[in-house]
Amino acid sequence: MSDNVLFYGLGSMGTGMAHSLRRAGFPVNAFTNKPEVRQAFIDAGGESADLATFAPEAAAVVIAVVNAAQTEDILFGKTGLAERLPAGCVVIACPTIDPADARQFEADCEARGLLYLDAPITQAALDRYQQAIDEGRAHEDDASLVKTYLAEAGLHRPDRKGSG
């Protein structure tokens, strides 16, 4: 599988994360509903090709939107991204959402052969992923891949409370 990253959501947090991944050497293809933001990403050296072209080549998807409704629409609704991704692709969802929604997204992704990580932009995200490994819902080899994407996006697991 490639190391291509599809990034959906170039808002105040997402733009910096997408650029950090790009600077770290990951091929990043970013999408947003705002044409001027999309153009600014392209002008800064990023890519924003057609979703249908890039999705089948993605190793990971980072979804940096506001809520569960947007995440659901991107993955399973009008955008239908989950149907376009290759089996084994890692879906990293960054909005803070209800745990029931996250569990449903995880089940729906798993049914399509995708690895879903509920990774709200908080210090507890990697702790929850470690718990998923411990409970057998995720695999150790996936953990290193996910940690790589999160680290390169500028997210880290703090060593102690208050250091995030």
Residue 164's pLDDT is what? 34
Residue 120's pLDDT is what? 84
Taking only the tens place, the pLDDT of each residue in 86-126 is 999 999 999 988 999 999 999 999 999 999 998 887 645 55
Average pLDDT, the chain: 81
Q: Phi/psi of residue 91, each to 5°?
A: -105, 115
Q: What is the pTM of this model?
A: 0.74
Is residue 6 within a helix (H) or strand (E), and if so which, with residue range?
strand 5-8
DSSP track, 47-65: B---HHHHGGG-SEEEE--
Average pLDDT over residues 45-50: 86
Q: What is the DSSP letter of 55?
A: G
Domain boundaries, given as residue ranges, for the chain? 5-152
pLDDT higher than 60, residue 49 = yes
Is residue 74 within a helix (H) or strand (E), and if so which, with residue range?
helix 68-76
5-152 CATH fold: Rossmann fold (3.40.50)
Q: What is the DSSP letter of 57?
A: G
Residue 157's pLDDT is what? 47
